[in-house]
Amino acid sequence: MSGIDWNGILRLPEAALAGCRRIPKTVLVKQAMLTKTEQKRLDKVARLEHFATVQKSTTRIPPYEDDERNVQSVVFLRCEMTAGTMAVAEVAELVHKCFPNPTVLLVEAGGCACISVALTRRSQAEQGATVVDRVESTGAFDPGRSEYADFLGALAFGLSQGDLWEYLVDLSRTVALSRAIGGLGFYPVCPARDREKLIALTSRYDEMGASVKRLKEQRRSKDITLNESAKLRMEMKEEERRLRAVADEIKEICNGRSR
């Protein structure tokens, strides 16, 4: 499997690397008891590999456990999509649920990349089981574009994390912040004291951007009346104004940085 030099980006310790061992899709089908519909979705994956495992024995980062979570390791998987397939979000969701550990999915699709991070928690319904609690994903992007350079640099491994849960949360936040790059033109970075505010703002930016996209799609409908189209246009303009206001707040926190 050729393509992106993922460890040139992640810079994980040599001990953590798994040698890109192939994971047969039949194993996932059996272990996760996938339905026929889910198996068809899995057909969009050309190849799945075990890329690395971050745990105490490979990175010296201690595990984390409390009443809600038990994080003993974080598994990195490398996924190559079949030719012409860009449905990275639905495939990532499916692959994440096949593993009991928190997983980081490194996807390659049509020259683009996608990084998806799944956080898990203990199941309330089944003792000893885990479920996917939350997924943060970049969406498909071109890793060669200059505006993504700082984001990719922020993914480089460091030993500042107190435990594996902290490492996982930091990784998921980095991925979440990357979704603002397309609109802002740069990866938002700010002083530590403003980080929580920045995360909240980028989350709002993400939601508003999705709202604008939905409104545009509604206006393109063939069944829409002129009156409905005018109302949607006004609503869309207002949402775009709010989106720009949030973007300005983000830029202010990031010291007005732009590209």
- Looking at residue 83, what is its pLDDT? 79
- Looking at residue 1, what is its pLDDT? 47
Region for residue 139 given its phi and psi (left: phi exceeds 0; alpha: psi -120 to 50; beta: otherwise): left
- Looking at residue 123, what is its pLDDT? 84
pLDDT by residue for the chain (259 residues), tens only, comes to 458 999 999 999 999 999 889 999 888 888 888 889 989 888 899 999 999 999 999 999 999 999 899 999 999 999 999 877 778 888 899 999 999 999 999 999 988 999 999 999 988 877 767 888 999 999 899 999 999 999 999 999 875 668 999 999 999 999 999 988 988 899 998 887 888 899 899 889 988 988 998 999 998 888 888 888 899 999 999 999 999 999 999 988 887 444 4
CB atoms within 10 A of CB 24: 9
Instruction: Render 63-123 in DSSP notation, one character per residue.
Output: -EE-SS-EESEEEEEEEEEPTT---HHHHHHHHHTT-SS-EEEEEEETTEEEEEEEEEEE-
The upper half-sphere exposure of residue 214, i.e. CA atoms within 13 Å in the direction of its Cβ, equals 8
- The helix (run of H) or strand (run of E) holding residue 19 is strand 17-22
Alpha carbons 77 and 117: distance in angstroms, whole number = 10
Alpha helices by DSSP H, listed for the chain, are: 6-10, 25-31, 36-42, 56-59, 88-96, 149-154, 164-178, 181-184, 195-219, 226-253
- Looking at residue 259, what is its pLDDT? 41
CB atoms within 10 A of CB 234: 11
Alpha carbons 81 and 46: distance in angstroms, whole number = 5
